[in-house]
Chains A and B, each alone.
Chain A
Amino acid sequence: MSPLSHLRQLEAESIHIMREVAAECQRPVLLYSIGKDSSVLLRVAQKAFHPGAVPFPLLHVDTGYKFREMIEFRDRYTAQLGLKLIVHTNRAALESGATPFGWGTQRCCGALKTTALLDGLRNGGFDAAIGGARRDEERSRAKERVFSFRDARGQWDPRNQRPELWNVFNTRIEAGESLRVFPLSNWTELDVWQYIHAENIPIVPLYFAKLRPMLVRGDALLPVEQSFVPRLPGEQPQMVMCRMRSLGCSPCTGAIRSEADTVPRIIEELISVRRSERQNRIIDHDQDGSMEIKKQEGYF
């Protein structure tokens, strides 16, 4: 038999991790963000438990500002797979007028993402949250554990993480504490796309290039889904051939100019364009090391 390819090895390791969570944690949940990594996560979960059903629900933290196409895809795809979906939104913050422009991105993210996530986990009594984060996404994630320990307040202490050896994972926690589990830790962005291609995995159409109305500000392309996105005097949306490289809230996710309308073309673009995927996420650029600060506070 020929040796396993790197994609098959990564897949097998992710399956192993999923199964460990299901076997050792009391109430796991899969954090479903609708993005490409989440799509891969769902496929790995299906494979891990086949021919049985995925033994945990999905939790989507809906800020209320996600792209419409994301929500449509979410509802259609999770129903098609027969998965149980829980949606949690911080209604109180939305009603108090939380927007990235009125509140600033940090405070808005804090309320609609971090607080909402912690509340969603608490409401469900979940002790393990499986997420699609990868170590190659950002420098502060390079040292993240596969099983990442969070204290009773959901916070991450970089000095108090458990060493992880071999594939032997320590899942033990006390009541109130929790684990974040990252089965795709060792995947790179390119691995994810290659896997999507090899497995023919459905993803949100926003990843594919198409003419879309955008506010063009220098190199930045701002989507105009939300009416509160402030416009410069006389500014009108233009139709631009573009796509999303990563998906978040529409007011805070810039598009990139692109012709890539198929997965192979996206991979081709990825190989030739040398920009990291989080670069067009406005939220990460508030301050140097900002992702690390968000993580300590409980953001995924």
Chain B
Amino acid sequence: MSAATVLPVSESFEEFLQQEQSKDLLRFTTAGSVDDGKSTLIGRLLYDSRSVYDDQLESVTKASAGRNAGAIDFSLLTDGLRAEREQGITIDVAYRYFATPRRKFIIADTPGHEQYTRNMVTGASTAELAIVLVDARKGLLPQSRRHAYIASLLGLAHVVIAVNKMDLVGYDRATFARTEADFRRFLSRFQSIEPYFVPISALAGDNVVTRSGNMPWFHGPSLLEYLERVPTGRRAQNSSFRFPVQRVVRPNQEFRGYAGTLVSGRIAVGDAVVISPSGRRTAVASITTFDGDLQQAQAGEAVTLTLADEVDVVRGDTISTPDDLPLSSNSINATLVWLNGTPAQVKRRYRLKHATRQEWAELKYIRHRVNINSLDHEHANTLEMNEIGSVHIETARPLAFDTYAKNRATGSFILIDEVTNATVAAGLISGAANEGRELRQMSAPEPVTLADRIARQHHTGAIVHLGGRLQLALRLERHLFDRGCTVFAFESQTEEVTRALLGAGVLVLLAGEPRLGFSIETTSGEQDVRDTELPSSDTEAIYAVEELLNRLQLLSPGSDWTDSGGI
């Protein structure tokens, strides 16, 4: 740069700065194993978006001389710690940053090794989208299923299946189509997931940033184009208002406010609010910030609220709006992901941190463990590191919470070991464990209608005839029950009883007689299920019935299956 030139800062540059400042943010996580080329993909995104500095590139080129000398090894841009560099694998969550003119991105880069489920869960916990990398030569592998399962467990609506190494299969359309079909079949059980399939070569750069001429048969956006366009922040914005109180702010006698972040929804001055757990009602008097008072605030904003009445509010309380209050219970069903080398111990006391509140909690029992390869439920007395299970927890005092499916921030918690202070588990709440003690605060005394039942159960009634398969009926009952359904299995039953249950929105499973075959009745009559042949394997049949119930819209899409803590 010559010393004589003075850089003009033009008005258009000021405009550019304004634009830069108004970009939004997308957090995503990447899953894939060492061999899928994940590090290469991330290195390529950083490099092609000019997020890598020249001296970093030089130091990486220097380091790669020892391994495979030659071209830039993109994967070295993202391999962090020395020990890992020596082993050639990444073993912890690493955060990367890049930006395009449209959007800023934060990548939680997680290793795809089986033993590192905990890292994937950690990375997915703050992400809105997951990229699952698949080797085009190998297609759908057990680990890809794991990645999809974890993405769904952690509530990621958007999953990109990036079929990588297309250059090694001659950019073959059929190979891509086969992988896509396999995945679609597998993913159909995760109603919450909207997949996007894209064929890429991270190494050669095909369809990563720009669309590739090598695959003219593919018409979708490139990976980066998709990442730039996918909607962000919708879920928290559209959920009910929740404000976990972080601190009471009392600088003088005149001001008493409650500092916190709106984890979901929005609030305006004058809105009625309810404090949990006390149940006290009041209204928002002001929304105070350093930059002046606001009339309203939205999810993600850190503000200080003052209230119209002198109510007792402490750190750990949750402020909500009366139209939709959180659940309140000290008895909780949850999915736990065990993160620590010391296994879970039933009957042991842990420190539980939920939003801004800490409570003593006891792990009462483990309902089952989820085999993350087959997704089967297994009997378990403990959970080892990287294992996922459905559990029942009791807290010393009631928590005000939502299910994780409904609200990520108020539906999640961590468990802390009281001796080592290690974070030993991540918890995703599926509901109050004891229906009798589940209290929706100040519920209106109105008759319970079928609509009310559907709203709670997330499904309507049905009678499913299973052609004499009693074992299937029992297994399906367990499966749907764990999903949170109200379900009864019978070997046989009178029509009077089954009709009554149907009217009350119950799912009735009838083993019945073999000659009657498979059929489904609903409140609107018999459903046409002729094109469905029930598979002979019970496991396959369970999924087939479930898929059918979904298709008939008997199970509402709002009922995220994480409610049950797994399939």
Cβ–Cβ contact B301 & A8, under 8 A: yes
Whether B302 lies near A15 (C-beta < 8 A) is yes
Q: How far is the CB of A157 from chain B (nearest CB, A)?
A: 12
Q: A275 CA to B1 CA in the complex, in Å?
A: 14
Residues of A contacting B59 in the complex (Cβ-Cβ under 8 angstroms): 288
Interface residue ranges of B233-270 to A (CB < 8 Å): 233, 237, 246-247, 249-251, 255, 257, 259-261, 266
Query: Is the Cβ of A168 less than 8 Å from the Cβ of B414?
Result: yes
* Residue pair A5, B95 in contact (C-beta under 8 Å): no
A5 touches B7 (CB 8 A): no
Q: Tell me if A276 and B56 are in contact (CB < 8 A).
A: yes
Which residues on the B side are within 8 Å of A170 (C-beta)? 353, 414, 416, 421, 423
| B103 proximity list for chain A (CB < 8 A) | 6
Q: Is B23 an interface residue (CB 8 A)?
A: yes
Set of chain B residues within 8 Å of A148, measured between Cβ atoms? none
Collect the chain B residues with CB atoms within 8 Å of residue A46's CB. Answer: 290
Known A268-B13, A279-B53; contact A3-B302, beta-carbon cutoff 8 A? no
By the criterion CB–CB under 8 Å, are A7 and B21 in contact?
A: yes
Which bracket fits the contact residues of A?
Answer: 35 or more
Interface of B is mostly: mixed
Are A9 and B300 in contact, with the CB atoms below 8 A? yes
Q: Which residues of B contact A11 (CB under 8 A)?
A: 302
CB-CB < 8 A to A197: which residues of B?
17, 21
In the complex where A19-B246, A23-B246, A168-B353 touch, is A48 in contact with B414 (Cβ < 8 A)?
Answer: no
Contacts of A161 in B (CB 8 A): 92
Report A-chain residues with C-beta under 8 Å of the C-beta of B96. Answer: 136, 142
Assess A162 versus B413: contact at CB under 8 Å? Given A50-B288, A190-B99.
no
Given A267-B17, A268-B13, A292-B81, CB of A52 within 8 Å of CB of B249: yes
Q: With A and B bound together, what is the CA distance between A215 and B50 in angstroms? A: 32
- With beta carbons under 8 angstroms apart, the residue of B7, B261, B413 that contacts A269 is B7
Residues of B within 8 A of A12 (CB): 261, 300-302
CB distance from A142 to the nearest CB of B (A): 4
Minimum C-beta distance from B497 to chain A (A): 45
Q: Does A194 contact B (CB under 8 A)?
A: yes
Quick check: B118 and A186 within 8 Å, CB to CB? no
CB-defined contacts of A122 to chain B, threshold 8 Å: none
Q: Which of A167, A168, A276, A292 interacts with B82 by CB under 8 Å? A: A292
Report B-chain residues with C-beta under 8 Å of the C-beta of A267: 17
Residue-wise interface mask of A (7-24) relative to B, using a CB-CB cutoff of 8 A (1 in contact, 0 not): 111111101100110110
User: For the complex, is B522 an interface residue (Cβ under 8 Å from A)?
Assistant: no
Interface size in chain B (residues, C-beta < 8 A) = 88
Known: A3-B233, A168-B355, A186-B95. A274 touches B426 (CB 8 A): no
- In the bound complex, do residue B1 and residue A188 qualify as a contact, i.e. CB atoms below 8 Å apart? no
B74-109 interface code vs A (CB 8 A; 1 in, 0 out)? 000011111101000000111111010001101001
Partner of B94 from A142, A186, A276 at Cβ < 8 Å: A142
Q: Assuming the A-B contacts A12-B261, A268-B7, A276-B55, are A143 and B247 also in contact, with contact meaning beta carbons closer than 8 angstroms in the complex?
A: no
- What chain B residues lie within 8 Å of A279 (beta carbons)? 53, 55
Task: Tell me if A49 is interfacial: C-beta within 8 Å of chain B.
Answer: yes
Q: With A23-B247, A140-B80 known to touch, is A6 a contact of B266 (CB < 8 Å)? A: no
A75 at the interface (CB under 8 A from B): no
Shortest Cβ distance from B261 into A: residue: A16
A47 interfacial contact with B, CB 8 Å: yes
Contact A135-B97, Cβ < 8 Å, known A23-B356, A257-B1, A259-B7: yes
Q: Which of A49, A53, A198, A262 meets B21, CB within 8 Å?
A: A198
What's the least CB distance linking B258 to chain A, in Å?
11
Are B288 and A167 in touch, CB under 8 angstroms? Answer: no
Please provide the chain A residues from 150 to 168 with a CB less than 8 Å away from any CB of chain B in the complex: 158, 161-168
Indicate if A111 sits at the interface (CB-CB under 8 A): no
A222 and B210 CA atoms in complex are apart in Å by 43
Q: Which residues of B contact A163 (CB under 8 A)?
A: 93, 118-119, 122, 339, 423, 426
Closest CB-CB distance, B21 to chain A, in whole Å?
6
Enumerate chain B interface residues (CB-CB to A < 8 A): 1, 3, 5-7, 9, 13-14, 17, 20-25, 50, 52-56, 59, 63, 78-83, 85, 92-97, 99, 103-104, 106, 109, 118-119, 121-122, 125-126, 232-233, 237, 246-247, 249-251, 255, 257, 259-261, 266, 288-291, 296, 298, 300-302, 304, 315, 339, 351, 353-356, 408-409, 412-414, 416, 421-423, 426
Query: What are 21 residue pairs bridging A and B, where the CB atoms are less than 8 Å apart in the complex?
Result: A6-B24, A8-B300, A11-B302, A12-B301, A19-B259, A47-B291, A47-B302, A51-B257, A142-B109, A143-B81, A158-B83, A163-B118, A163-B339, A163-B423, A165-B412, A169-B353, A173-B421, A194-B20, A264-B13, A268-B7, A292-B81
Which 7 A-B residue pairs are closest in the complex by CB-CB distance?
A: A276-B53, A6-B25, A15-B302, A52-B251, A50-B290, A47-B290, A165-B125
